[in-house]
Every structure is written in structure tokens, then in C-alpha cells.
Amino acid sequence: MQIRTLFLLSVIFAFLQGPVLPAVFVEGFLLILVVLGEYDEKGLLSNKAFLQVFGFSFVFDLIQGQSLGLTSLLFLAISFGLAVFKRNLFARKEVFLAVIVVCISFIRAKVVFGSFYPLSLLFIFFVTFFYARFVRRPDYTGLRIQ
């Protein structure tokens, strides 16, 4: 994903989450989008992915008035963990992706806000599932075309 797009999405949703949307909503989904899109030739997560994760997490914390760096720490740790799977697993399993996104959102909600939002978790599960199933190209493996 382009950095500009990611930045714009994170700013828009950071503003909306709270007044309109639940406080934790699309961050997990954004993280998976970043991770899915930034594998290098060797199938490892690129440095750019980590930078993007660091950046958009910081934006969320800043706009939502939470402890700066907390979401970045969480999401970077999760990214390190996800990097182990490489791209092949991500390419195939829609339910697995959806469950990962729900877990990420749940962790952020519990750690940062001290509560969780069941309906929003359910919603984001289905959004991720349908995205992985119908929107993402089936042969997309995350390789950047040179």
C-alpha cells in the first residue's frame, strides 16, 4: 500500500473512531493490509512495512489522545510475529486472516482502552473475510513488480 494512502486512511479513521465509530475498529485490518502488501523477493516482510506500521500506529495514538508509542509497540511486535508466516499462508487463508485481524483489534482494545467492542470485532471479521475472498486478487502474493 502506498504510504500516502495509508496515512490518509489512518487519519480519517482515527478521527472517526470515537465520535462516530467504536474506538477500535479498522487498525487491525490496516495492519494486515500493510503486511500483505510489503513482502520482498525473499518472502520476508520489508523494512517499509515496519515503517508504515510504526507511522500509522503513531497517528492513531496521537489523534485518539492515547499514550504515544503504545500502539506502535503492540503492532510492531505483532508484525514481527506475523513475519514468521511469510506470504504463502496469507495468500490462502481468508478465515485465518479474519481471525488474525480480530485478535489484533481485541489486543489493542484491551491494552489501550481497557475494554473491547464485540460488535465492531464481528464487523471487522466479516470485512476482512470478504476482502480476502473477493477483493484481493487470488493470485496476489505480495511481490512487488519491478
Partner 1 sequence: MRRARGLKYLPVLYFLASAFIFLLDSRGDLGLVHSFAQRATLPFDSWVFGAKRSLFLPFSSLFKIDLEIRVRELEERNSLLLGEIGRLKSVEEENVYLRKLLNVGLPSSWSFALASVISKVDDNLFLVGDFSPSLGTPVLVVGEEEGFKGGVFVGRVSRVLGRKVEVVLPTNEAFHMPVYVRDKTLGLRTASGLAIGRGGKLVVDQILASEGLNAGDLVFTSGDEEIGEDLLVGYVQEILPTKDGTWQQVEVKLAVNVEALDVVFFLVGGD
Interaction of residue 120 with partner 1, rule CB under 8 A: no
Task: Tell me the one-letter amino acid at 52.
Answer: Q
- The whole-angstrom separation of Cα 114 and Cα 104 is 14
- β-partners of residue 45 are 39
122 binds partner 1 (CB under 8 A): no
The x, y and z cell numbers of residue 25, run together, are 475498529
Question: Per-residue x/- mask for partner 1, residues 43 to 82, rule CB under 8 A?
Answer: --x-x--xx-xx--xx---xx-x-xxxx-xx--xx-xx--
Closer by beta carbon to partner 1, 80 or else 126 = 80
Q: 39: helix, coil or strand?
A: strand
From residue 9 to residue 48, the character string flagging contacts with partner 1 as x (rule: CB under 8 A) and all else as - is ------xx-xxx------------------------x-x-
Burial environment of residue 52 by CB neighbours within 10 A (0 to 12, 13 to 18, 19 or more):
buried
Q: CB neighbours of 81 closer than 8 A, spacing ≥ 6? A: none
Instruction: Kindly list the residues in this chain that would bind partner 1 in the complex (CB under 8 A).
Output: 15-16, 18-20, 45, 47, 50-51, 53-54, 57-58, 62-63, 65, 67-70, 72-73, 76-77, 79-80
